[in-house]
């Protein structure tokens, strides 16, 4: 192969860049899109397709052969399972710590106080499915810590992911619901209360490059960017703490 031809081939490859698929927790829908946009500003030739679903469902997809090169979870247990199942190319890394909120999009219900849970006119309370969504586990822990299980259980409406549970509230299916601070912090149409973290286990969130992403420089670079200073400042804007 001539040197000129080799250079031309390299130029063509660089022009097209690399594309990756990412599975990410539904709670990251807004913050991760902002981070992706910042990351790609200097990598116009690359492409990142992010699917936002519950962390449990993302884990199941990877275990069943998904070609996602990166998994950005809403907890640390699912990325650790990916690693223990020998489906990761490196060890998981924590990138942020999330916060649980109770919120409402209904003007008749002010969720800026947790006393809203005592309102007898509330018939439906949205909650992410604890079997699939880490924020659902946190919400369930809060309800149990406050001794409200018996009182609230008949009102609970379970969403497959935190995205679906939040949609129930925004669409009026439920008067109030549990969600992540990152989903509501920039939404001026909602009222919310941040629930003290002493009522649930810390929501330390981790990411992992999968085996499918082992040869992907873009997947590795994007993972490192998420852990870096600029991305961390964006996480902070959305209410996250450092891990």
* pLDDT recorded at residue 144: 97
Give 148's pLDDT tier (boundaries 50, 70, 90).
Answer: very high
Give 8's pLDDT tier (boundaries 50, 70, 90).
Answer: very low
Residues 6+ apart with CB under 8 A from 233: none
Average pLDDT over residues 182-204: 97
Give 213's pLDDT tier (boundaries 50, 70, 90).
Answer: very high
For the chain, the average pLDDT equals 94
pTM over 0.85: yes
Per-residue b or e along 28-43, where b marks 16 or more CB atoms closer than 10 Å to that residue's CB: bbbbbeebbeebbeee
Average pLDDT over residues 16-31: 95
Give 10's pLDDT tier (boundaries 50, 70, 90).
Answer: very low
Give 3's pLDDT tier (boundaries 50, 70, 90).
Answer: low
User: CA 26 from chain center: how many Å?
Assistant: 4
State the SS3 of 25-45.
EHHHHHHHHHHHHHHHCCCCC
CA gap 140, 22 in Å, rounded: 28
- Residue 204 reports pLDDT greater than 90: yes
Give 11's pLDDT tier (boundaries 50, 70, 90).
Answer: very low
Name which of 4, 190, 183 is nearest 100 in CA terms: 183
* pLDDT recorded at residue 124: 98
Average pLDDT over residues 7-25: 73
CA gap 107, 139 in Å, rounded: 23
Name which of 199, 198, 204 is nearest 78 in CA terms: 204
Percent of the chain surpassing pLDDT 90 = 93
Q: Is the dihedral of CA 22, 25, 26, 32 positive or negative?
A: negative
Give 2's pLDDT tier (boundaries 50, 70, 90).
Answer: low
- How confident is the model over 45-101, as pLDDT tens digits? 999 999 999 999 999 999 999 999 999 999 999 999 999 999 999 999 999 999 999
Reading the block at residue 61, the tokens are 């997809």
- Residue 7 reports pLDDT greater than 60: no
* pLDDT recorded at residue 179: 98
Contact between 124 and 178 (Cβ < 8 Å): no
CA gap 220, 90 in Å, rounded: 10
CA gap 75, 135 in Å, rounded: 9
- Residue 6 reports pLDDT greater than 60: no
Phi, psi of 67 (to 5 degrees): -90, 15
Alpha helices in 48-191 (DSSP H): 55-63, 77-84, 134-145, 149-152, 162-170, 181-184
Residues 6+ apart with CB under 8 A from 67: 21, 212
- Residue 12 reports pLDDT greater than 80: no
Average pLDDT over residues 126-154: 97
- Residue 120 reports pLDDT greater than 90: yes
């Amino acid at each position: 192969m001539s040197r000129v031809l080799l250079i031309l081939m390299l130029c063509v490859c660089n022009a097209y860049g690399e594309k990756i698929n990412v599975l990410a927790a539904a709670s990251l829908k807004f913050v991760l899109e902002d981070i992706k946009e910042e990351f790609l500003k200097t990598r116009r030739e690359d492409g990142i397709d992010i699917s936002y679903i519950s962390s449990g469902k993302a884990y199941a997809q990877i275990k069943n052969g998904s070609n996602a090169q990166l998994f950005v979870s809403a907890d640390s247990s699912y990325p650790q399972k990916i690693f223990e199942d020998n489906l990761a190319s490196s060890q998981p890394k924590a990138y942020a710590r999330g916060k649980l909120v109770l919120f409402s999009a209904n003007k008749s219900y002010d969720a800026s106080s947790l006393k809203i849970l005592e309102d007898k006119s509330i018939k439906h309370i949205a909650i992410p499915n604890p079997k699939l969504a880490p924020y659902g586990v946190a919400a369930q822990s809060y309800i149990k810590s406050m001794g409200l299980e018996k009182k609230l259980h008949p009102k609970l409406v379970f969403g497959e992911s935190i995205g679906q549970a939040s949609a129930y509230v925004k669409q009026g299916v439920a008067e109030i619901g549990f969600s992540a601070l990152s989903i509501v912090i920039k939404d001026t149409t909602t009222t919310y209360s941040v629930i003290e973290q002493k009522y649930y286990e810390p929501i330390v969130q981790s990411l992992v490059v999968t085996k499918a992403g082992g040869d992907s420089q873009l997947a590795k670079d994007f993972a490192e960017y998420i852990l870096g200073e600029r991305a961390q400042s964006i996480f902070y804007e959305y209410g996250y703490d450092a891990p």
